[in-house]
Amino acid sequence: MYSQGLIGADGSTVEDEAFLEAFQKRIDAEQKIEPNDPMPEGYRRTLIRQISQHAHSEIVGMLPEGNWITRAPTLRRKAALLAKVQDEGGHGLYLYSAAETLGVSREELTDQLLTGAAKYSSIFNYPALTWADIGAIGWLVDGAAIMNQIALCRCSYGPYSRAMIRICKEESFHQRQGYEILLTLCRGTDEQKQLAQEAINRIWWPALMMFGPHDSESTHSDQSMHWKIKRFSNDSLRDKFVNATVPQADYLGLKVPDPNLKWNEEKQGYDYSDIDWDEFWRVVKGDGICNRDRMKARRKAHREGAWVREAALAFAEKRAAAAEAAKTAAE
């Protein structure tokens, strides 16, 4: 999601220079762009792509964690996890609504997800194998999401920016919950510490991938930065995340799975190994361990729910016709 949300975005646009200049003036003056304001087609298209891929990420993101609801180890943890997954569905709903303000329907966006035309964050193509993964997802995945989304709270498009402000509040709660799950494990038995260490081993690198390609490879970034859809570069956000997260891992007593991780006094930040970009692109392009399962689950839910949606629509139409007939009879 987030920085990955721009994958596949097309910012090319056809308006004349005067139009683009006037638009850019508003952007530079930090004015929020609202749904009925004039905007370049490229701006609209880029936002639809980014917001909808963000929404899809929330929806697909329900699957790995939802997989643990029925197995949560205590009732308190189960309640927190159910509430978290429900929040993610809620985020999906606001984001689809924000995308709809740009003149696209939720059905069209859902079709794009189900046909594979649109992407979702690569992180959700990794499995949640143990209870410790639920902690690590909250801590690292929601942590990386917050790093990106805090930046998006200042996005130039009003509805997206406002959705982000609300979402960030909930995400930081999720992150604390995740960290607290791991803290409990790290203070527990040897088996529990091992579960926690294995979880960070699995999820650390995929979490760093959430920030998207290197700035030099991020083809759509410049235009998006110019339009203030995106306000910080992928690499700068990734660095910020690493700098914030390594001390948290130290506090847990967990080892970050990177032999080259080292504090660099001069830049006041950590040096770390390069991401395995072959893996990144492989997973983005559909060959991660869970890509097929995730899409299969979404398509199955959509297919098996079709009769329910049709029934609801047919019922609403019957009701409307009956109300209309009653109105005509009364006149």
Partner 1 sequence: MVDKKSLFNYLLRLGDDQQILSQRLGEWCGHAPTLEEDLALANIALDLLGQARSLYTYAGEVEGLGRDEDQLAFLRYENDYVNALIVERPNGDFAHTITRQFFYSVFMDLLWNGLLKSSDETIRAIAAKAVKEVDYHVRHSAEWVIRLGQGTAESRERMVDALDEFAIYTGELFEMDALATEMAEAGVGVDLAALRPQWEAEVNNILTDAGLEMPKVNWMQTGGRSGEHTEHLGHILAELQYMQRTYPGMTW
- In the bound state with partner 1, the residue whose beta carbon lies nearer, of 71 and 262, is 71
Total residue length of the chain: 331
- 192 is a contact residue toward partner 1 (CB under 8 A): yes
- 329 is a contact residue toward partner 1 (CB under 8 A): no
Instruction: Provide the minimum distance between the beta carbon of 224 and partner 1 in the complex, in angstroms, as a whole number.
Output: 27
Within positions 43 to 72, which residues make up the interface with partner 1, using CB under 8 A? 59, 62-63, 66, 69-72
Within positions 71 to 90, which residues make up the interface with partner 1, using CB under 8 A? 71-79, 82-83, 85-86, 89-90
Which amino acid does the sequence have at 55? A
- In the bound state with partner 1, the residue whose beta carbon lies nearer, of 15 and 198, is 198
Number of residues binding to partner 1, judged by CB under 8 A: 48
The answer to whether residues 197 and 186 touch, using CB atoms and an 8 Å cutoff, is no
- In the bound state with partner 1, the residue whose beta carbon lies nearer, of 180 and 235, is 180
Q: Which of 242, 234, 40, 267 is nearest to 151 (CA)?
A: 234
DSSP code string of 28-72: HTTPPB-TTS---HHHHHHHHHHHHHHHHHHHHHHHHHHTTGGG-
- Residue 19: exposed, middle, or buried by beta-carbon count in 10 A (0-12, 13-18, 19+)? middle
Within positions 237 to 296, which residues make up the interface with partner 1, using CB under 8 A? none
- 109 is a contact residue toward partner 1 (CB under 8 A): no
Q: Which of 20, 27, 93, 129 binds partner 1 (CB under 8 A)?
A: 93
Site string for partner 1, 304-323 (x = CB under 8 A): xxxxxxxxxxxx--x-----
- The span from the CA of 302 to the CA of 187, in Å, is 42
Within positions 171 to 190, which residues make up the interface with partner 1, using CB under 8 A? 181, 184-185, 188-189
The neighbour count for residue 287, using CB atoms within 10 Å, is 12
CB < 8 Å & 24+ apart, contacts of 296-302 = 297/63, 298/59, 298/60, 298/63, 298/113, 298/114, 299/114, 302/110, 302/114
Site string for partner 1, 112-131 (x = CB under 8 A): -------------------x
DSSP-derived letter for residue 156 is: S
Q: Helix (H, G, I), strand (E, B), or coil: what is residue 260?
A: coil
Which chain residues interact with partner 1 by CB under 8 A?
Answer: 59, 62-63, 66, 69-79, 82-83, 85-86, 89-90, 92-93, 96, 131, 181, 184-185, 188-189, 191-192, 297, 300-301, 304-315, 318
